[in-house]
Amino acid sequence: MRLVVNQESYRLAAGSKELAFLAGIVDHDPVPVLEAIRCPVLAIFGEEDTLVPVPRSIEALERAFASSAHVDHEIAVFADADHSLRVSRPAGRAHVPGYIELMIAWLARRTPPRDSN
């Protein structure tokens, strides 16, 4: 089930801190901020995320990075994962397979080797 909520419905739920926060960012355009980023970026999404529009978010990232000529970025989308990058399993919920390994490998490629002395 997908719940679609617009800015008007946020206003109707006045009093909720979470909904007030969401109402303040519902029309936020991240592209100007993304265009200013100069550090390496690892953007990770869960394909089944119901909080973030994954295809639109990826499009915004790619547009911003192309515009700013940002070259050190990676975008990963994990199938069957939710917003917190977890999947349902018979024994409960766990991080999607490969998530931790991706983060470790990405960080290792950007971390200088330690001096052995």
Q: How many whole angstroms separate alpha carbon 48 and alpha carbon 54?
A: 9
Instruction: Find out whether 105 and 72 touch, Cβ atoms under 8 Å.
Output: no
Digitized pLDDT (tens) for each residue of the chain, 117 residues in all: 333 444 444 444 445 676 777 677 777 788 888 999 999 999 999 999 998 889 999 999 999 999 999 999 999 999 989 999 998 766 677 889 999 999 999 999 998 888 766
- Asked whether residue 14 is domain-assigned, the answer is no
Distance between start and end Cα atoms, the chain:
57
- Asked whether residue 22 is domain-assigned, the answer is no
What is the residue range of 48's domain? 29-110
- Asked whether residue 65 is domain-assigned, the answer is yes
- Asked whether residue 69 is domain-assigned, the answer is yes
pLDDT at 93: 76
3-state secondary structure of 64: helix
Sequence-ordered strand ranges (E) for 1-117: 41-46, 73-78, 86-89, 92-95
**pTM of the predicted model as reported, rounded to 2 decimal places:** 0.72
Instruction: Find out whether 106 and 41 touch, Cβ atoms under 8 Å.
Output: no
The count of structural domains within the chain is 1
- Asked whether residue 88 is domain-assigned, the answer is yes
Selection from 110, 113, 112 nearest residue 39 by Cα: 110
